[in-house]
Structure 1
Amino acid sequence: MLDDDMPYDEMTDTQFEEFCFGLMQELGFVNVDWRKGTGFNASPADHGRDIVAERSIEEFDGTHHVERWFVDCKHYKQGVPPDKIAGLLTWAAAERADVALVIASNYLSNPCKDHLQLYQVNNRPPFRIKHWERPQLKKLLEGKDEFVARYVEARPRTEAEILAAEERRTDKLWYYRKELLYHSIQIGQRAPLEPEVDQLIKSAMQQMEDQYKGDQDFVIPGDDQEEWNAAYLLGELSALRWVLGDEWNNGDS
Structure 2
Amino acid sequence: MFDTAKSQYFISLPEALNTINPDLVDEVEYENDWDFEYRNFSEILEAEHDLEQKIWYNRHKVREASIKKGKIKLIDREQFNIKKSQHTIIKDIWEGALASAKKVEETYGAENLSFDDFEWGMINGKLSALRWVIGDEWDNLDT
State the TM bucket, normalised to the shorter chain.
0.5 to 0.7
List aligned pairs for 1:74-85, cutoff 5 A: none
Secondary structure at the residue paired with 2:112? Answer: coil
Coordinate RMSD, CA, aligned: 2.8
Query: Quick check: 1:158 aligned with 2:40?
Result: yes
Aligned residue number for residue 92 of structure 2: 196
Post-superposition Cα deviations, 1:103-139, rounded to whole Å, max 9, x if no partner, equal xxxxxxxxxxxxxxxxxxxxxxxxxxxxxxxxxxxxx
Structure with the larger RCO, 1 or 2 (CA within 8 Å, 6+ apart): 2
Unmatched segments (≥5 aa) in structure 1: 1-149
Query: Quick check: 1:239 aligned with 2:126?
Result: no
Tell me how many residue pairs correspond in the alignment.
96
Q: Name the CA distance, whole Å, in 2 between partners of 1:229 and 1:184.
A: 22
> Comparing both structures, which one devotes a greater share of its residues to helix?
2
Identity of aligned residues (%): 30
Query: Quick check: 1:169 aligned with 2:51?
Result: yes
TM-aligned CA deviation for residue 189 of structure 1 = 3.0
Alignment counterpart, residue 220 of structure 1, candidates 106, 113, 127: 113
Aligned residue number for residue 248 of structure 1: 138
TM-aligned CA deviation for residue 208 of structure 1 = 1.8
Secondary structure at the residue paired with 2:73? Answer: coil
Q: Name the CA distance, whole Å, in 2 between partners of 1:196 and 1:228.
A: 34
List aligned pairs for 1:108-127, cutoff 5 A: none
- Structure 1 181/228 Cα, relative in aligned 2: closer, same or farther at 3 Å? farther
Q: Name the CA distance, whole Å, in 1 between partners of 2:124 and 2:134.
A: 15
Q: What residue identity is the alignment partner of 2:141?
A: G
Unmatched segments (≥5 aa) in structure 2: 1-33, 75-88
TM-aligned CA deviation for residue 229 of structure 1 = 5.3
Secondary structure at the residue paired with 1:181? Answer: helix
> Comparing both structures, which one devotes a greater share of its residues to strand?
1
Q: If the length of structure 2 is used for normalisation, what is the TM-score?
A: 0.54
Q: Is the 8 A contact 1:176 1:229 kept in 2?
A: no
Q: Is the 8 A contact 1:176 1:230 kept in 2?
A: no
